[in-house]
Amino acid sequence: MMSGKNFFLLSISAIILLFSQCKTSDDEEPTGPQTMRDLNVPAGFNYNTSHNVSVKVIIPEGVPWRTTYVMSTDESNTFLKAMPTDSVERSMESYIHIPTYMDHVLIRYADGTLCETATVPVVNGSVEHTLTKKKFDATSLSMEVDTDGDHVIDPEDDYPNDSSRAYNIFYPGGENMKNRGTNVVIPWASYAFEDLWPGYGDYDFNDVVIDFYYMVVVCNTLFHGQYIVEVHPSYKIRAIGATFENGFGMEMMGIPHEHVANIQWRYDDGSWSDDFSSLLTEGYVSLRDNNVEDGQDDAVTIVTDNVENILPNPGGSSFVNTVQSAPYEPPVTIHLKIEFPWENRPFYGCSIPWYAYPWTTTALCYDDVNPFIIVDGERGKEVHLPDFPPTDLVNMSYFGTQNDDSDPATGRYYKSVNNLPWAIDISYSFEYPLEKNDIIFAYPEFVGWAESGGSVNPDWYLPEHAEESHVYQVP
């Protein structure tokens, strides 16, 4: 006969077994990655949300030389303004840098009256198109004026009285055609950093959030391409989700430090200054006479050695603009002007044509812009975008330690063993995650994008894909 104790134990076991078999779907184990660290990312993926695209436009016979515009299909952003670079083939050849999700661009010649405007696909990283001539009144062309004689007529010239300058070209775009009479409206892109490298962070990508755009001023040389007169980076410091006091800088890879004439800076409403003492207060950055950082072969600009001095903490939290309940601090923008002397002007684009010599031995395109943060006042501790190299002043002993899996011998930098980054470059003004909110919950489409190596969800970062409960909302 079964004892009362044994009967009780058997009854309890039966109840537990029955309960386990009747679990509802709400009690099931969660599926999918629970943190960014769970992702399975291809080794070669570099997390690019934008890319360089080569452009070649053939101009028909009988059409005068005018500016070619490459624009977004809604005509809101202009990515390139350029004159013909080959008089025999009658072609304009250059590069644009556009979001990877953009599969078509619009090509307009001059004001659209000389040739048919066309929407052209982006195929394998290139755009090619032959313009179709329109009927036009040739006598009216004699009325067009080129005051400074640089072969760019005044309605198309951003500097009609200065032959050493012709166009302002923006990344990520945004300036519409000058001769349409529109105001300049410039969108921003974003850099977002994790600062615990070489250890993993919490992957909310809000330790340092900086919006940016670059304006490049080029001169025009008919049939000889464009050369950079000045680069105007603008950096808007938006959020600091870190207890470290981090600096921020940018390297122009391949541009020797001595090829820069001078660097100046200003706030939105300020005047240009070449005195960086109020931006560099921590004592670990030394500048050359032209305001590039000392000790570097390439031209490196340190925008600030402590972002907290630029975007101060308003109190109520350890962080700035990453905790919803804490006071909001309006972002602060710093504008730079990097000037090049005539004899060392870089070629604008991603290759150097044979005719560049002796003007320059270097070329600059957006892929050569190398942003980074300096972690907690330690000059040798830099965090860069994945597969971007460090500057000459980095402490190489950090590579290969903790969670970092960099291999300088193969050009692999700032990736973990499972190919995770510590920084991302986003082709939009990023609505970044709240403090301690993993990016995969703020942007669920990030998972498919990263694990596919970028082949799906290329626009994962646009606001319509965000989970608002995980994203910081500006008050």
* 137-193 pLDDT, tens digit each: 777 676 789 999 999 999 999 999 999 999 999 999 866 555 444 455 678 999 999
Reported as type and span, the H/E element at residue 110 is none
Contact indicator for 279, 287 with CB cutoff of 8 Å: no
Q: What is the pTM of this model?
A: 0.92
**What sections of 117-202 are H helices per DSSP?**
138-141
Cis peptide before 172 (omega within 30 of 0): yes
State residue 20's pLDDT score: 43
With H, G, I as helix, E, B as strand and everything else as coil, classify residue 366: helix
Contact indicator for 255, 263 with CB cutoff of 8 Å: no
CA angle 235, 238, 241 (to 5 degrees): 125
Residue 3 has pLDDT above 70, yes or no: no
Question: Which CATH class name applies to 49-167?
Answer: mainly beta
DSSP secondary structure, 282-325, as one string: SS---B-TTSSBTT-SEEEEEEES-HHHHS---SSSSSBSSSTT
The proportion of the chain whose per-residue pLDDT surpasses 90, expressed as a percent, equals 83
The more confident residue out of 143 and 78 is 78
* 44-66 pLDDT, tens digit each: 999 999 999 999 999 999 999 99
Domain ranges of the chain: 49-167, 188-470
CA 399 – CA 383 distance, rounded (Å)? 11
Structure-block tokens of residue 276 = 């960086």
SS3 content of the chain, % helix, strand, coil (to 5): 15, 30, 55
Contact indicator for 320, 240 with CB cutoff of 8 Å: yes
**What sections of 142-210 are H helices per DSSP?**
none
Cis peptide before 233 (omega within 30 of 0): no
Region of poorest pLDDT, from 33-47, 183-197, 461-475: 183-197
Closest by CA position to 55, among listed 107, 101, 100, 99: 107
Closest by CA position to 212, among listed 462, 428, 431: 428
Q: Mean pLDDT, to the nearest integer, of 193-221?
A: 96
Residue 105 has pLDDT above 50, yes or no: yes
Q: Mean pLDDT, to the nearest integer, of 99-104?
A: 96
* 312-359 pLDDT, tens digit each: 999 999 999 999 999 999 999 999 999 999 989 999 999 888 888 777
State residue 355's pLDDT score: 80
State residue 12's pLDDT score: 42
For residue 131, name the pLDDT band (cuts at 50, 70, 90).
Answer: very high
The more confident residue out of 389 and 141 is 389
Residue type, 317: S
* 421-466 pLDDT, tens digit each: 999 999 999 999 999 999 999 999 999 999 999 999 999 999 999 9
CA angle 80, 187, 114 (to 5 degrees): 30
Cβ burial of 13 (10 Å; 0-12, 13-18, 19+) is exposed
The CA-to-CA distance between both ends of the chain, in Å, stands at: 73
* 226-281 pLDDT, tens digit each: 999 999 999 999 999 999 999 999 999 999 999 999 999 999 989 999 999 999 99
In Å, how far are 92, 98, 445, 473 from 468, measured between CA atoms?
A: 44, 26, 14, 8
Reported as type and span, the H/E element at residue 47 is none
Cis peptide before 463 (omega within 30 of 0): no
State residue 175's pLDDT score: 64
State residue 136's pLDDT score: 81
Residue type, 116: E
Contact indicator for 250, 303 with CB cutoff of 8 Å: yes
State residue 185's pLDDT score: 65
State residue 141's pLDDT score: 72
State residue 259's pLDDT score: 96
Region of poorest pLDDT, from 20-29, 101-110, 245-254, 430-439: 20-29
Structure-block tokens of residue 298 = 């390439």
